[in-house]
Amino acid sequence: MTHSAVNLTAFSAEQIRKEFPILQTRVNGKPLIYLDNAATAQKPGVVIDRMNDYYRNENANVHRGIHTLSQQATTDYESTRKKVQAFIHAADEEEIIFTSGTTESINLVASTFARTILKPGDEILISAMEHHSNIVPWQMILEEKGGVLKVIPINDNGELILDELDSLLSSKTKLVAVSHMSNTLGTINPVKEIIKAAHEKGIPVLVDAAQSIPHFPVDVQDLDCDFLAFSGHKLFGPTGIGILYGKKALLDTLPPYHGGGDMIKTVTFEKTTYNDLPFRLEAGTPNIAAGIGLGSAIDYVNSIDWKSAVAWEHELLTYTTEKMLEVPGLRIIGTAANKGSVISFVMKSAHASDIGMILDQEGIAIRTGHHCTQPLMKRFGVPATARASFAFYNTKEDADALIRGLLKINDLFG
């Protein structure tokens, strides 16, 4: 991704952060410096207001009601499907399935697609940097079906060793499931290349876009992925809503996921017939407010200068990385050439949880621990890391405060 052509003076993180109420608050008596965006992003006022408005003035169930409020709720909720379709450039609205988040999206594919096709001895290929959400659902279904999990290894920079891809993709491989951007290392993976290699052998690919979707444009037709999963809450939207994208031809072959209301056409005690896509895969009353909120979040993201936002985050990443490398005893875990704005690190002077606690006293929110990537921690020989993750509303002042906090930690523990 090139960032040089973008005029960053036209992009003001200072202006943008005013639209996020929580960024004006104080934590432990200090202005909040929020650097835990990889866990969840903050919400602009428009998203919060829209959800409040729904509950105050429009609350009704969707899809089944004839009365005005229900029709309004249905229109608003369904308009998000169209917005998501446009946002990820899906060919068809029916390819957008509402779930509760990335985790449920991946579980849906495991429970339907993988359960249908896997035979004993079959393989699913993931990578060494996957989030537990893109490991455990596959392990569960592979255990049930007698299959085997295979892993694309990574090098010491935290980049996939793609030389091994060809030999890992065999006639036994039934699915590749790989993350677009690592939540722990920040590595942006060449998923288009992986998809092409898998497709040459007729193998479908699921992309975990939980981390990529808030950081750069994702185009499912350009990637040619078969499935793609992401969560609303990392895209400046609410929790409890996520998306599974699937190519229509593939989704059409899937058996139902959950049984219940909305996913049926007819029910008798003898036999049930199922609804068409996307509803066949969406049983029960959905998270309507969150769905509507996600629509507002997408409107919001569409309203900002996306190209400049991407470049700004890259600038923040470079600026912070350079300053961190000057902090004595600090080691960055994840030094891929193509990286998003996530920096994992360890310090000689303090354990990750101590780093997190001291920074918290300064009003600085970072994440510490294994980041739901325990195999990755093992690969790098660390029990845990501290992780600062940026969004487009972060500033160089945020980075400076982080560095001051890290130097203070060295003073205290060093």
Q: How far is the CB of 25 from ligand PLP (least distance, A)?
A: 23
Given the complex with ligand PLP, which of 308 and 373 has the nearer CB atom? Answer: 373
Q: Pick the stretch among 5-13, 50-58, 95-103, 306-314 that binds ligand PLP (CB under 6 A).
A: 95-103
Q: How far is the CB of 102 from ligand PLP (least distance, A)?
A: 4
SS (H, E, C) the chain: CCCCCCCHHHCCHHHHHCCCHHHHCEECCEECEECECCCCCCCCHHHHHHHHHHHHHHCCCCCCCCCHHHHHHHHHHHHHHHHHHHHCCCCCHHHEEEECCHHHHHHHHHHHHHHHHCCCCCEEEEECCCCHHHCHHHHHHHHHHCCEEEEECECCCCCECHHHHHHHCCCCEEEEEEECECCCCCEECCHHHHHHHHHHCCCCEEEECCCCCCCCCCCHHHHCCCEEEEEHHHHCCCCCCEEEEECHHHHCCCCCCCCCCCCEEEECCCCEEECCCCHHHCCCCCCHHHHHHHHHHHHHHHHCCHHHHHHHHHHHHHHHHHHHHCCCCEEEECCCCCECCEEEEEECCCCHHHHHHHHHHCCEECEEECCCCHHHHHHHCCCCEEEEECCCCCCHHHHHHHHHHHHHHHHHHC
Given the complex with ligand PLP, which of 102 and 308 has the nearer CB atom? Answer: 102
Q: How far is the CB of 34 from ligand PLP (least distance, A)?
A: 16
372 tagged catalytic: yes
Q: Pick the stretch among 72-80, 97-105, 166-174, 391-399 that binds ligand PLP (CB under 6 A).
A: 97-105
Given the complex with ligand PLP, which of 228 and 364 has the nearer CB atom? Answer: 228
Q: Does residue 282 interact with ligand PLP by CB under 6 A?
A: no
Q: Does residue 101 interact with ligand PLP by CB under 6 A?
A: yes
Region 111-140 residues binding ligand PLP, contact defined as CB under 6 A: 131, 133-134
Q: Does residue 210 interact with ligand PLP by CB under 6 A?
A: yes
Q: Pick the stretch among 13-21, 96-104, 275-283, 295-303 that binds ligand PLP (CB under 6 A).
A: 96-104
Given the complex with ligand PLP, which of 132 and 404 has the nearer CB atom? Answer: 132
Please tell me the count of residues contacting ligand PLP according to CB under 6 A: 12
Given the complex with ligand PLP, which of 159 and 362 has the nearer CB atom? Answer: 159
Catalytic residue among 46, 117, 332, 372: 372
Q: How far is the CB of 118 from ligand PLP (least distance, A)?
A: 22
Residues serving a catalytic function are 372
Residues lying near ligand PLP in the complex (CB under 6 A): 101-103, 131, 133-134, 179, 183, 208, 210-211, 231
